Structure 1
Amino acid sequence: MLVESLAVLTLALLVEAAIGYPGRVYTAIGHPVTWIGALIATLDRDLNRDDASPAVRRAMGVLALVAILAVPGALALALQAILSGFGLLGLLAAAILASSLLAQRSLHEHVAAVRDGLRAEGLAGGRRAVSMIVGRNPESLDEAGVSRAAIESLAENFSDGIVAPAFWMGLGGLPGGVLYKAANTADSMIGHRTPRHDAFGWAAARFDDMINLPASRLGAFLLIVAAALHPWASARAAWAAVRRDAGRHRSPNAGWPEAAMAGALGLRLAGPRTYGETIVNDAWMGDGRAAATAQDVDRALALYRTACALLIGLAALVAITALALSR
């Protein structure tokens, strides 16, 4: 089972890196995240009642999380059981399906659009592109702020959009990846500390923090190794930034890849930020320049590509080792 899961993971990473999630497929049937999102929205509407006490809303949030995991998880288990009967063809089909749970290619495209927007249209183009990937107010950002926001998003989403689903996919195959994606989508939709979701989204937020712990550390490690492979990056500074700053981030996970990226590029990331009308006074990751540029975004993307290649290589190596040990 573990060998099969690791094989699915390796193939899924390769497929997604090559073709991503085709736009025609999205237009025709949507995406697993949109399907899971529809379930979450229904549960939020039906279970998260404004007139209920905080204790009741928290209990309903726990119940909602169980349903959010159980429904797609059961479907994925059934689908994997069916595909496993088709041998190599079924394995390939599972990998193609699992590739939809990864975001190597789309993340690169979205962050590259910020770099290209800054270069082609200046601040206005950068603000427009970065508004597609971050929740902060783009009008409050100067060129350095736009560049930092893009790099921070790249680092954080490398962890929870790629390494985390890959980690759980490697352990549990297609169902493992689906369960992670369901939990992560729940956190993104109801896990924020707003008046409506402070109690109802408590379980989703805490569960997401827990399941992202191993991936955030692995993601930081991959970025540090990637930095060692580029002459203009510093693996030593990346490691120092992780050790010094990762635990100071308001998130128990985001600080790890952000600190690694900041140290590798000689930047300062995170720090005070504005979301809508709310100012978040977060700690700085790294002790380098705060004045990031489009060239820094380009370098961050190069580190990201190398880290993704390292992840694919690691998945293949573990799969081959597991196969050899199973014989």
Structure 2
Amino acid sequence: MRIRLFMPGSLGTACIASVTDMAVGYPQALVRRIGHPVMWIGGLIGTLDRRLNTKDATPARRRAHGCLAAMVIVSVPTAAAVLVNRTIRRILPRWLALPLTAVLASSLVAQRSLHDHVKAVAVASQDSLPAARRAVSHIVGRDPELLDEAAVLRAATETLAENFSDGIVAPLLWMAAGGLPGAVFYKSVNTADSMIGHRTPRHEAFGYVAAKLDDLVNLPASRLSALWIILAALTMRGMGARAALRIVLRDARQHRSPNAGWPEAAMAGALGIRLSGPRSYDGVSVAEPWVGDGRSDLRPEDLYRALALYRRACLIQTLAGCLAAGMLTRKLRTVHRTP
């Protein structure tokens, strides 16, 4: 029997999307011309927030409206992705439909853009503290003017670790499970949490469901991201894989987030530094526990080391996915050839 299967659909989509994003990312020319899928989802969220999250509503009504908004935010983009996916598969041969779908899905992965934004902080920190503060303000929510150089570098390292989980591992994991629609589903949930899932007077009740849903869908990826970081540390000179595992087991669950603590703990342990700790949001000081045992006075070279660890973790994840896709393809070919 002739086998036309190129790769198991969803897993193959994730592998090609990961490689595509590594190689070219999402071109800025496209952002300027048509925007980005996350921007489109954000537009929907903003509209629902303005129309359903009214000031005169009671907390109970706000939570109910937030639940309705979460359902719309998830269902509309996911349904659109299902339609696009089915249309591509219907009009194109499989050998062309799979890579085209994967290229579209690569827009939902942020390997290259995350690296570039964090590297910009590392470069700026070698110039001046004001430049570093401006660079880090693009990727964190805390008050940059209150950060010294070490705090700026810690904030960038924490963002790198956390977004490795929810910006790379999670969308690829959901893509491997459900193809383009799976990735869009995840990105819709994650974008909703980033926009309305905050404990502020406006969003405490309205964003409750979005925040809880984000915690749930990120749970497997956060654990997997810690594993990729530990494996990356194991393959790199000067990195502490054993320390990364120890800090994950000790500190990950003590973090303010049920998920972000896992990759942050792994990175802190691997680099021999401390992350998290006290910080300020909108002028309000928050006493958070430290993650890790090392020094907290980071230097620019520490952030460059974190970027190197991040690149290796991304590579390991991509190789693992491609290996799994190849093994599954071989198994399916054997099954198809069996009389």
Bin for the TM-score computed over the shorter chain: over 0.9
User: What are the equivalent positions in structure 2 for 1:37-52 lying under 5 Å apart?
Assistant: 37-52=42-57
The aligned counterpart of 1:12 is: 17
Q: Aligned-pair distance for 1:77?
A: 0.3
For residue 265 of structure 2, the aligned residue among 233, 252, 259 is 259
For residue 69 of structure 2, the aligned residue among 64, 72, 80 is 64
Distance 1:184 1:321 in 2: 31
Which ranges in structure 2 are unaligned for 5 or more consecutive residues? 334-339
Q: Secondary structure at the match of 1:198?
A: coil
The aligned counterpart of 1:88 is: 95
Q: Aligned-pair distance for 1:88?
A: 1.4
Deviations 1:244-275 (A, max 9, x none): 00000010000000000000000000011111
Q: Secondary structure at the match of 2:8?
A: helix
Distance 1:300 1:226 in 2: 11
The aligned counterpart of 1:141 is: 147
Letter in 2 for 1:101: L
The aligned counterpart of 2:106 is: 99
Structure 1 residue ranges, 4+ long, deviating more than 3 angstroms after superposition? none
Q: Secondary structure at the match of 2:108?
A: coil
- Measured on the aligned residues, the alpha-carbon RMSD in Å equals 1.1
Q: Aligned-pair distance for 1:321?
A: 2.1
Letter in 2 for 1:200: F
Which ranges in structure 1 are unaligned for 5 or more consecutive residues? none
Distance 1:247 1:269 in 2: 14
The aligned counterpart of 1:238 is: 244
TM-score by length of 1: 0.98
Q: Secondary structure at the match of 1:282?
A: coil
Q: Secondary structure at the match of 1:94?
A: helix
Q: Secondary structure at the match of 1:100?
A: helix
The aligned counterpart of 1:214 is: 220
For residue 124 of structure 1, the aligned residue among 130, 134, 152 is 130
Q: Secondary structure at the match of 1:220?
A: helix
The aligned counterpart of 1:114 is: 121
Distance 2:121 2:257 in 1: 24
Deviations 1:151-194 (A, max 9, x none): 00000000000000011000000000000000000000000011
The aligned counterpart of 2:35 is: 30
- Who wins on radius of gyration, i.e. which is larger? 2
Q: Aligned-pair distance for 1:324?
A: 2.3
Distance 2:320 2:98 in 1: 19
The aligned counterpart of 2:229 is: 223
Confirm whether residue 293 of structure 1 aligns to residue 308 of structure 2.
Answer: no
Q: Secondary structure at the match of 2:270?
A: helix
Distance 2:295 2:301 in 1: 13
Distance 2:257 2:114 in 1: 21
Confirm whether residue 302 of structure 1 aligns to residue 304 of structure 2.
Answer: no
Letter in 1 for 2:254: R
Deviations 1:96-122 (A, max 9, x none): 100000000000000000110011x22
Q: Secondary structure at the match of 2:287?
A: strand
The aligned counterpart of 1:282 is: 288
Distance 1:247 1:283 in 2: 11
Deviations 1:288-315 (A, max 9, x none): 0011110000000000000000110111
Distance 1:99 1:196 in 2: 33
Q: Aligned-pair distance for 1:53?
A: 1.2
Distance 1:31 1:88 in 2: 26
